[in-house]
């Protein structure tokens, strides 16, 4: 809705009202049309101010309306009517002006923003483009290069940057509505011809063709198959080369393709899924809205390896006091320097002072006695972690939450080492921890809802997307990764090359294929774990391809035995110019090695195409996702999808593995799994999970109703 009042005698004040973000629902659009008409026909009104209630101008089109029957007045003519008005219309922007909200403001004759406001055209991140004239007005206002950057990235800008770019006319630290009213009184009666952006010529740009070519190439590369950024470039190109009305036609045409695309559905699903995972629940019935987090003022990190350093930086950057403990002298000195460097670089990028004074370093665990929460990040070794937890339990003040950054060890077992197991949870960060957005918060049967709530809230404060998951080997992300990695190795045994597998996955949209990724993170990490699990046959030369009754590929172990640990040694699945170099090159040695390996084991190479790579790697991973849902380790498909999008490079425009399974069709996923399981009976992962069968049997319901099916399944057990 939109409320209308006359203020200061001659100003028609229109207030958008649709909590929480004043999205442009049908009712709001109708409200705007009606109130603008009323203001323009009121002879006492000289100018109009449009603002939003509750300190937010407008969060854009109502995303919940997408995919439904759209009713109410459309945005484009509504904004045209505002721009064509014969009385000045001023947008008073507080909070956010995003998407349709900014397009509405661009239709106004003047824009005034609060200094804390944020503006942007984020449609691209929802698989769309700004189709209410945004792609045509913004370049006319601020020039093609700046508009291209904002529209193709969806980046939000601060009010200061918006002023500098020319998006807004004035910024205020005081009441924006008061400033806008004053401004509107001043401009009343002044000519408006020079204020209608659609009538502006697009600023001249030299060498337009090469600019667009360059941007298109850049966008295609970073979009990894996403179609919206490409359409955004095409729409802005129309603004730069065609008259306004033709440009609007092009904008509409491009939007029509995007609007009904699977990518837009996937991206909009991700938008809501990201928010849904914040509303976590535990099998005990404890939930986000009933479990109160305890405030954390001071935290500690134990162990300053790669992970500990990143976590320390992330904590200090949120303004918390941090005690950082490292026992090894050499590591201690190196870590101190590294953490300071990371903080300084981060602060420089963000234009703030580095939070160096927030951290106190110690070599003694006693220094953590008075902290509210500890995050342990020592070597991934159960015996060591157990000792550390026993120490922490003795040293810390009562009530301190004890968290472990293990990437897969048993959190319950660690909890059992402490006096208060209810205070123990896992906080599984992803490397580099100050950059990666994902955090798995792992609860065990004894973890208290308050411990989960506190870790979830701390994660949010650190800028992470936190997902609460149950305790099991590998938690959610790494547990699903295992069958995926294994399939990739099996494909090499059967005739594929690392290049072929990686290309298929990269064309699907992963930033890096599985083998390039393994080279980057180091092959030795998994080798050490497999040795610990008793899976590696030491130096036998021709290790068996079966372990514990199931198929096993020793290929990774054989590479490690040769000292090929990946980028750090200059050799892995690929070769590199020198150790540490990042450019992966095809390695004839490896191809020979694979051929010899196949010959030795009597394996006949067959032709493997991209489709087989995708089906085997991705469906194996998805199948494990269904098992995770069945086991109650993740509360819903959204949790899994957000973990994969934010932590594992799953292309967002494909919505996450579980959403993707729905898009492919659950019946098809089931049929292909059955096919591959039949062909590879010694790979139990490929046996379709009963939840998948059940979903198919119940007509493959859409992803948002899976929770109901799972609930029913659990209640029948």
Annotated catalytic residues are: 103, 123
Interface residue with ligand COA, options 61, 91, 228, 314 (CB under 6 A): 61
The tokens of 551 are what? 């198929």
Kindly list the distances between the CA atom of residue 460 and the CA atoms of 270, 314, 321, 354, 434, in Å, as whole numbers in the listed order. 17, 11, 17, 20, 13
Query: Any contact of residue 612 with ligand ADP (CB under 6 A)?
Result: no
The tokens of 178 are what? 């008061």
Query: Any contact of residue 160 with ligand ADP (CB under 6 A)?
Result: no
What, of ligand ADP, ligand COA, none, does residue 61 touch, CB below 5 to 8 Å by kind? ligand COA
In angstroms, the CA 372 to CA 369 distance is 9
Q: In 3-state terms, the chain is what percent helix, strand and coil (to 5)?
A: 55, 15, 35
Other residues' Cβ atoms within 10 Å of the Cβ of residue 524: 19
Q: Which is nearer to ligand ADP, 273 or 365 (CB)?
A: 365
Q: Give the nearest distance from C-beta 23 to ligand COA in angstroms.
A: 4
What, of ligand ADP, ligand COA, none, does residue 346 touch, CB below 5 to 8 Å by kind? none
Task: Assign 296 to helix, strand or coil.
Answer: coil
What, of ligand ADP, ligand COA, none, does residue 307 touch, CB below 5 to 8 Å by kind? ligand ADP
Query: Any contact of residue 98 with ligand COA (CB under 6 A)?
Result: yes
Query: Any contact of residue 20 with ligand COA (CB under 6 A)?
Result: yes
Considering only the stretches 17-25, 211-219, 329-337, 469-477, report the one whose residues sit in contact with ligand COA under the rule CB under 6 A.
Answer: 17-25
In angstroms, the CA 639 to CA 652 distance is 14
Interface residue with ligand ADP, options 302, 313, 523, 560 (CB under 6 A): 302
Query: Any contact of residue 379 with ligand ADP (CB under 6 A)?
Result: yes
| Sequential DSSP letters for 114-168 | ETT-EEE-GGGGGT---TTTHHHHHHHHH-HHHHHHHHHH---EEHHHHHHHTS-
Taking a C-beta distance cutoff of 8 angstroms, is the pair 512, 520 a contact?
Answer: yes
Please report where in the chains the tokens 């927030």 appear, as a residue. Answer: 358
Q: Which is nearer to ligand COA, 61 or 223 (CB)?
A: 61
| Sequential DSSP letters for 580-597 | T----B--HHHHHHHHHH
Q: Give the nearest distance from C-beta 488 to ligand ADP in angstroms.
A: 23
Which sign does the torsion angle of CA 651, 621, 514, 338 carry? positive
Query: Any contact of residue 64 with ligand COA (CB under 6 A)?
Result: yes
What, of ligand COA, ligand ADP, none, does residue 378 touch, CB below 5 to 8 Å by kind? ligand ADP
Q: Which is nearer to ligand COA, 288 or 490 (CB)?
A: 288
Residue 44 burial by Cβ neighbours in a 10 Å radius (0-12, 13-18, 19+): exposed
Strands annotated E in 389-464: 401-404, 424-429, 438-443
Query: In the stretch 293-312, what mask flags binding to ligand COA with x, by CB under 6 A?
Result: --------------------
What, of ligand ADP, ligand COA, none, does residue 99 touch, CB below 5 to 8 Å by kind? ligand COA
Q: Which is nearer to ligand ADP, 430 or 685 (CB)?
A: 430
In angstroms, the CA 575 to CA 577 distance is 7
Considering only the stretches 18-26, 162-170, 309-317, 535-543, report the one whose residues sit in contact with ligand COA under the rule CB under 6 A.
Answer: 18-26
Other residues' Cβ atoms within 10 Å of the Cβ of residue 226: 22
* DSSP-H helix ranges across 188-241: 208-223, 228-241
What, of ligand COA, ligand ADP, none, does residue 308 touch, CB below 5 to 8 Å by kind? ligand ADP
Taking a C-beta distance cutoff of 8 angstroms, is the pair 189, 128 a contact?
Answer: no
Kindly list the distances between the CA atom of residue 444 and the CA atoms of 235, 283, 413, in Å, as whole numbers in the listed order. 51, 10, 9
Strands annotated E in 437-530: 438-443, 465-470
Which sign does the torsion angle of CA 150, 174, 15, 85 carry? negative
Interface residue with ligand ADP, options 70, 353, 384, 599 (CB under 6 A): 384
* DSSP, res 566: B
The tokens of 591 are what? 């191809």
Query: Any contact of residue 524 with ligand ADP (CB under 6 A)?
Result: no
Query: Any contact of residue 673 with ligand ADP (CB under 6 A)?
Result: no
Q: Give the nearest distance from C-beta 100 to ligand COA in angstroms.
A: 6
Q: Which is nearer to ligand COA, 96 or 487 (CB)?
A: 96
Query: Any contact of residue 375 with ligand ADP (CB under 6 A)?
Result: no
Q: Which is nearer to ligand COA, 63 or 170 (CB)?
A: 63
Q: Give the nearest distance from C-beta 384 to ligand ADP in angstroms.
A: 6
The tokens of 280 are what? 């976590």
> 160 — phi, psi (to 5°)?
-60, -45
Query: Any contact of residue 327 with ligand ADP (CB under 6 A)?
Result: yes
State the number of binding residues for ligand ADP (CB under 6 A).
18
What contacts 87, CB < 8 A, 6 or more positions away? 39, 40, 45, 46, 47, 48, 188
Query: Any contact of residue 395 with ligand ADP (CB under 6 A)?
Result: no
Considering only the stretches 90-98, 253-261, 305-313, 354-362, report the one whose residues sit in contact with ligand ADP under the rule CB under 6 A.
Answer: 305-313
Query: Any contact of residue 556 with ligand ADP (CB under 6 A)?
Result: no
Query: Any contact of residue 26 with ligand COA (CB under 6 A)?
Result: no
Q: Give the nearest distance from C-beta 323 to ligand ADP in angstroms.
A: 11
Query: Any contact of residue 122 with ligand COA (CB under 6 A)?
Result: yes
Query: Any contact of residue 377 with ligand ADP (CB under 6 A)?
Result: yes
The tokens of 626 are what? 């269904």
Considering only the stretches 34-42, 376-384, 420-428, 484-492, report the one whose residues sit in contact with ligand ADP under the rule CB under 6 A.
Answer: 376-384
The upper half-sphere exposure of residue 432, i.e. CA atoms within 13 Å in the direction of its Cβ, equals 12
Instruction: Single out the residue of 414, 393, 401 nearest to residue 450, CA to CA.
Output: 401
Considering only the stretches 33-41, 94-102, 477-485, 529-537, report the one whose residues sit in contact with ligand COA under the rule CB under 6 A.
Answer: 94-102
The tokens of 86 are what? 């014969």
Could you report how far apart the first and last alpha carbons of the chain are, in Å? 48
Interface residue with ligand ADP, options 12, 247, 308, 636 (CB under 6 A): 308
Query: Any contact of residue 331 with ligand ADP (CB under 6 A)?
Result: yes
What, of ligand ADP, ligand COA, none, does residue 589 touch, CB below 5 to 8 Å by kind? none
Query: Any contact of residue 493 with ligand COA (CB under 6 A)?
Result: no
Considering only the stretches 73-81, 132-140, 297-305, 538-546, report the one whose residues sit in contact with ligand ADP under the rule CB under 6 A.
Answer: 297-305
Please report where in the chains the tokens 């506190």 appear, as a residue. Answer: 454
Q: Give the nearest distance from C-beta 28 to ligand COA in angstroms.
A: 11
Interface residue with ligand COA, options 59, 88, 303, 655 (CB under 6 A): 59
Q: Give the nearest distance from C-beta 365 to ligand ADP in angstroms.
A: 6
Q: Which residues bind ligand COA (CB under 6 A)?
A: 20-21, 23, 59-64, 96, 98-99, 122-123, 126, 128, 272, 275
- Binding-site ranges for ligand ADP (CB under 6 A): 302-308, 325-328, 331, 365, 377-379, 384, 388
């Amino acid at each position: 809705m939109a409320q209308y009042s006359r203020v200061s005698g001659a100003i028609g004040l229109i207030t958008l009202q649709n909590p929480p973000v004043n999205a442009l629902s049908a009712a709001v659009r109708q409200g705007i049309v009606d109130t603008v008409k009323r203001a323009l026909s009121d002879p006492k009104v000289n100018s109009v101010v449009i603002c939003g209630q509750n300190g937010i101008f407008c969060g854009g089109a109502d995303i919940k309306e997408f995919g439904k029957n759209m009713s109410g007045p459309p945005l484009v003519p509504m904004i045209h009517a505002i721009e064509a008005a014969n009385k000045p219309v001023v947008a008073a922007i507080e909070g956010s002006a995003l998407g349709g909200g900014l397009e509405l403001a661009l239709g106004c004759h003047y824009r005034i923003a609060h200094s804390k406001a944020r503006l942007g055209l984020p449609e691209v991140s929802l698989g769309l483009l700004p189709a209410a004239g945004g792609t045509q007005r913004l370049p006319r206002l601020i020039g093609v290069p700046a508009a291209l950057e904002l529209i193709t990235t969806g980046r939000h800008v601060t009010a200061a940057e918006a002023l500098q770019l020319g998006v807004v006319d004035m910024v205020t630290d005081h009441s924006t509505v008061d400033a806008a009213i004053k401004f509107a009184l001043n401009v009343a009666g002044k000519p408006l011809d020079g204020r209608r952006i659609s009538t502006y010529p697009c600023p001249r740009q030299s060498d337009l063709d090469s600019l667009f070519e360059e941007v298109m190439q850049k966008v295609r590369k970073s979009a990894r198959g996403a179609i919206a950024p490409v359409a955004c470039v095409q729409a802005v190109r129309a603004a730069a080369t065609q008259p306004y009305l033709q440009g609007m036609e092009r904008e509409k045409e491009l939007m029509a393709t995007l609007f009904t695309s699977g990518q837009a559905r996937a991206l909009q699903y991700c938008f809501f899924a990201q928010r849904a995972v914040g509303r976590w629940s535990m099998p005990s019935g404890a939930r986000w809205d009933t479990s109160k987090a305890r405030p954390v003022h001071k935290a500690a990190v134990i162990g300053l390896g790669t992970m500990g350093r990143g976590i320390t930086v992330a904590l200090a950057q949120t303004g918390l006091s941090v005690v950082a403990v490292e026992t090894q002298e050499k590591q201690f000195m190196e870590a101190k320097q590294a953490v300071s460097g990371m903080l300084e670089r981060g602060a420089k990028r963000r234009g703030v002072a580095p939070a160096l004074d927030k951290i106190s370093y110690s070599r003694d665990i006693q220094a953590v006695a008075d902290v509210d929460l500890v995050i342990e990040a020592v070597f991934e070794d159960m015996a060591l972690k157990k000792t550390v937890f026993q120490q922490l339990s003795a040293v810390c003040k009562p009530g301190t939450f004890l968290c472990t950054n293990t990437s897969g060890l048993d959190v319950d077992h660690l909890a059992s080492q402490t006096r208060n197991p209810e205070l123990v949870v896992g906080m599984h960060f992803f490397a580099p921890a100050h950059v990666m957005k994902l955090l798995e918060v792992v609860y065990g049967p004894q973890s208290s809802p308050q411990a989960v709530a506190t870790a979830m809230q701390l994660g949010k404060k650190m800028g992470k997307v936190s997902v609460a998951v149950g305790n099991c080997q590998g938690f959610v992300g790494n547990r699903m990764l295992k069958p995926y990695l294994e399939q990739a190795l099996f494909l090499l045994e059967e005739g594929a090359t690392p290049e072929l597998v990686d290309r298929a996955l990269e064309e699907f949209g992963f930033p890096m294929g599985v083998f390039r990724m393994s080279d980057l993170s180091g092959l030795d990490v998994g080798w050490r774990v497999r040795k610990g699990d008793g899976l590696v046959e030491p130096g036998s030369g021709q290790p068996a391809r079966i372990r514990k009754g199931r198929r096993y590929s020793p290929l990774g172990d054989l590479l490690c035995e040769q000292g090929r640990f990946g980028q750090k040694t200059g050799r892995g699945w690929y070769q590199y110019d020198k150790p540490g170099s990042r450019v992966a090159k095809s390695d004839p040695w490896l191809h020979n090695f694979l051929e010899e390996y196949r010959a030795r084991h009597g394996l006949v190479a067959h032709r493997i195409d991209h489709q087989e790579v995708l089906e085997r790697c991705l469906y194996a991973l998805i199948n494990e996702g269904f098992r995770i849902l069945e086991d109650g380790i993740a509360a819903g498909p959204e949790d899994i999808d957000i973990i994969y999008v934010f932590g594992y490079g799953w292309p967002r425009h494909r919505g996450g593995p579980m959403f993707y399974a729905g898009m492919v069709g659950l019946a098809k996923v089931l049929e292909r799994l059955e096919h591959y399981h039949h062909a590879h009976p010694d790979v139990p992962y490929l046996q379709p999970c009963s939840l998948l069968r059940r979903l198919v049997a119940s007509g493959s319901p859409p992803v948002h109703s899976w929770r109901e099916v799972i609930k029913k399944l659990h209640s029948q057990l």
